[in-house]
Amino acid sequence: MSYQSEKNNLHEKLYGKDDKPVIADEYLLKRFEQSVLWYIKNANNCKIWYFALSIVGIVLPLSIPILNLFNDSSYVKLLITLVSVFTSFVTALLSLLKSHDKWINYRSVAEALQTELTLYISKCGDYADSTQEERNQFFAERIETLMGNEHIKWIGIVNKKSDDKKSN
């Protein structure tokens, strides 16, 4: 699903067909909408980087045996060397950027936030039998907790490489 279609779906959930917001508190509505869109956008970007670098990291090494068939000139040897260097560079980028881990993390938070919205709108679970103000308070606490937990996971993802090096 494209970012634009996900953005449209979120807008529909938040404003309904009559363009009336389902969250009465304007600040809470904007905070939620901007946060979910940020997570969706960044998850999509990380996914693209992950797949692009992975494909390049697969195709380049596969080209080396083919290039070896023509290994009778210094230009081909130079090309094989460059392909090998670029393969190492792409592999290092995959490890450094941690796009896969970030993609999964961001996507999980975006989905968890949208699940929370569904519970809020349908007045289920902890949102049942409470006033609008109590529902808004609990909703704000839940979304901030979800985003705070994501930040802790993000720090763990970013620091994972340095922890792995220390243990070796």
The mean per-residue pLDDT over the stretch 121-131 comes to: 92
The CB density around residue 29, as the number of other CB atoms within 10 Å, is 16
Tokens describing residue 111: 């989905």
pLDDT in tens, 60-107: 999 999 988 887 788 888 999 999 999 999 999 999 999 999 999 999
Per DSSP, which regions of the chain are E strands? none
User: Is the model more confident about 166 or about 43?
Assistant: 43
How high is the pLDDT of residue 68? Answer: 87
CA 59 to chain CA mean position, Å: 24
Q: pTM of this prediction? A: 0.86
DSSP secondary structure letter of residue 126: G
**DSSP code per residue over 33-86:** HHHHHHHHHHHHHHHHHHHHHHHHHHHHHHHHHHHHTTTTSHHHHHHHHHHHHH
**Pick from 97, 2, 83: nearest CA to 53:** 97
> What local confidence, expressed as pLDDT, does residue 164 receive?
54
Give the separation between CA 149 and CA 103, rounded to whole angstroms. Answer: 15
Q: What is the pLDDT of residue 162?
A: 44
What band does 161 get if pLDDT is binned at 50, 70 and 90? low
Which pLDDT score is estimated for 105? Answer: 96
